[in-house]
Structure 1
Amino acid sequence: MSHEKTAVDTRSLERQIEINAPAEAVWKALTDAEEITRWFPPEARVEPGAGGSLLWWWAEDIQWPSQIEIWEPNKHLRASYTKPPARDLAPPGPMVMDFHLEARGGKTVLRIVHSGFSAGAGWDDEYDGVGRGWTMEFRSLRHYMENHRGTPRRVAWSWVPLSVSYEEAWRRLMSPLGLLRQGTLDGLREGDRYALTAATGDQLAGEVLTYLPPHAFSGTVEGMNNALFFVLIDKCRGPEVWAWLATYGVPQAEVNAFRDRWSRLLANLFSTG
């Protein structure tokens, strides 16, 4: 993990992960619309090749279109865009995402260099949030590739806007009225085991993937066919709290019921500010 500021008042960030899958499969997960929806946004469109385009879609007001500049299969994908998704920010120039793939003995090292962020303080939330986002999404990709490759995904997504500080929102989430009716996440790191019972009654247990207070937690959920769960406090359309469950082979009715429970929980936690 690294970052740097450049002489033209922009900055870049870098994230890297090793995935136990061949480069061809990781490339497909980055560039095939159906594969993208199995680890990243709920919907995607791809016009392949240099001069083509990508569209990552979460909702009508959260869309991330970009233009493909470099298309070197299994090695290098570059895409650029001119406005951050769902944000009223004007970058100093094009923002560029370079995905580099390196094959290593049947595995793949995937690295992103995301550049073009303004160095101004008004961009700190965007810069930090995107960095957290790639940290989490790369683990989502690895989880999909190593455990569920080729399996369609069903997502339970609940969210509410925030009118309190990130720290206060995190305190509420990490309380007996939120995620931690029973159990704790204190001191846990990536790869550690966790087990908790949320105020919804959901029993969640598995492996910690990310723990970034006061912003994010993600982990596997072994009791739901090795699903992936995360909670996120960050600025998207504005300050928001998300609860997200990515499932594979779990009935839609079960996914919908999970979404409804978490929608009620978030509304109860944050309806009074």
Structure 2
Amino acid sequence: MAQDRTIAHTVTIKAPVDTVFGALSTPEGISRWFTTSAISEPHTGGQFRYVFDNEKPELSSVQEGQYIEVVPGRKVVHPWRFPGLAEATTVEYVLTSRGDETELQFRNSGFGDGPEWDGPYQRFTGGWKLFLDNLKSVLEGGPDQKGKLFGIKTATAR
């Protein structure tokens, strides 16, 4: 019997829903808290490309694909691939306005069974929490911790 391996986190961010949505969907917003650089066409079927340049080059990576669903101010859904695994998982951000705050419900679902999935599931269970904490920090005026936590290089102005 397959086990349900879904990573779920909820975080409340002291920022309006449109600000949080922008951080999840625009190239500038995404690179502020998550990636080194990003290309994003934030609409259902639009393309995305997330570049993670790491201080250790062997840990650098790229995520790219098409958005599965985008509802402005409400939801962003896209595939997430792990190196060496044929199937993608699904990442979903759902936003709810709570006045001047936003509740973000996060899910990463679709992890398969078997030892090849165990490592990615274990790493990302904690990893997503740290990234979401970084999103909260950045949007609430705190520091960007992605370099310190993950070795991801910060984007430079061009």
State the TM-score, normalized to the length of structure 2: 0.82
1:18 and 2:17 correspond: no
> Which of 115, 132, 145 does residue 228 from structure 1 map onto?
145
What root-mean-square deviation, in Å, do the aligned CA atoms of Structure 1 and Structure 2 show?
A: 2.6
Q: Larger RCO: Structure 1 or Structure 2 (Cα < 8 Å, ≥ 6 residues apart)?
A: 2
Q: How many residues align?
A: 151
What are the superposed Cα offsets for residues 196-253 of structure 1, whole Å, 9 maximum, x if unpaired?
xxxxxxxxxxxxxxxxxxxxxxxxxxxxxx5637655xxxxxxxxx546869xxxx8x
Query: Tell me, which stretches of 5 or more residues in structure 2 are unaligned?
Result: none
Q: How far did residue 70 of structure 1 move?
A: 1.1
Q: How far did residue 54 of structure 1 move?
A: 1.6
Q: How far did residue 77 of structure 1 move?
A: 1.1
Residue pairs, 1:94-243, within 5 angstroms: 94-147=88-141, 226=143, 228=145, 242-243=150-151
Question: Where does structure 1 differ by over 6 angstroms across 4 or more consecutive aligned residues?
Answer: none
Distance 1:140 1:27 in 2: 15
Larger relative helix fraction: 2
Query: Tell me, which stretches of 5 or more residues in structure 1 are unaligned?
Result: 1-6, 149-225, 233-241, 253-273
State the partner residue of 2:79.
Answer: 80
Residue pairs, 1:48-67, within 5 angstroms: 48-59=42-53, 61-67=60-66
Distance 1:32 1:229 in 2: 18
Letter of the 2:86 counterpart: A
Which structure is larger by alpha-carbon Rg, 1 or 2? 1
Letter of the 1:71 counterpart: V
Contact 2:52 2:152 in 1 (8 A): no
1:90 and 2:59 correspond: no
Q: How far did residue 15 of structure 1 move?
A: 1.3
